[in-house]
């Protein structure tokens, strides 16, 4: 199994893709700013969302093989998936 990492982040934008891998059709793609120790960083991450997160939401993102497993498809062409919305 590949390394999996989890990040806290803030959704700052939507990504529009005119062409996607067939396993991602219907999935929303988000631009996420990484939060480290409670402070927003300049690091960005692109992640698939299937739980309904939106701009301004703080989210939990998993990467690596954990991302593919979160979508219940280990062959999906993703490396980051939103797995939770953090209550404020």
CATH code of the domain containing 37: 2.40.50.220
Q: How many domains does the chain fold into?
A: 1
Residue 2: pLDDT band by 50, 70, 90 thresholds?
A: low
Q: Is residue 1 part of a domain?
A: no
CA distance 61 to 83: 6
32 touches 47 (CB < 8 A): yes
Q: Is residue 69 part of a domain?
A: yes
Q: Is residue 56 part of a domain?
A: yes
Contacts of 71 (CB under 8 A, 6+ apart): 23, 48, 50, 78, 81
28 touches 79 (CB < 8 A): no
Return the pLDDT at 76. 81
Over 90: is that where the pLDDT of 83 sits? yes
- What does the mean pLDDT of the chain come to? 88
Q: Is residue 29 part of a domain?
A: yes
Residue 8: pLDDT band by 50, 70, 90 thresholds?
A: very high
Q: Is residue 68 part of a domain?
A: yes
Q: Is residue 32 part of a domain?
A: yes
**pLDDT tens readout for residues 28-63:** 999 999 999 999 999 999 999 989 999 999 999 999
Which residue's entry shows tokens 């631009």?
31
Residue ranges making up the domain that contains 36: 6-86
């Amino acid at each position: 199994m590949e390394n999996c990492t989890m990040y806290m982040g803030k959704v700052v934008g939507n990504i529009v893709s005119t062409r996607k891998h067939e396993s991602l059709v219907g999935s929303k793609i988000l631009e996420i700013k990484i939060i480290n120790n409670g402070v927003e960083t300049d690091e960005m991450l692109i992640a698939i969302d299937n739980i309904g997160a939106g701009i301004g939401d703080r989210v939990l993102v998993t990467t690596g093989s954990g991302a593919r497993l979160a979508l219940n498809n280990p062959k999906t062409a993703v490396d980051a998936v939103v797995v939770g919305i953090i209550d404020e």
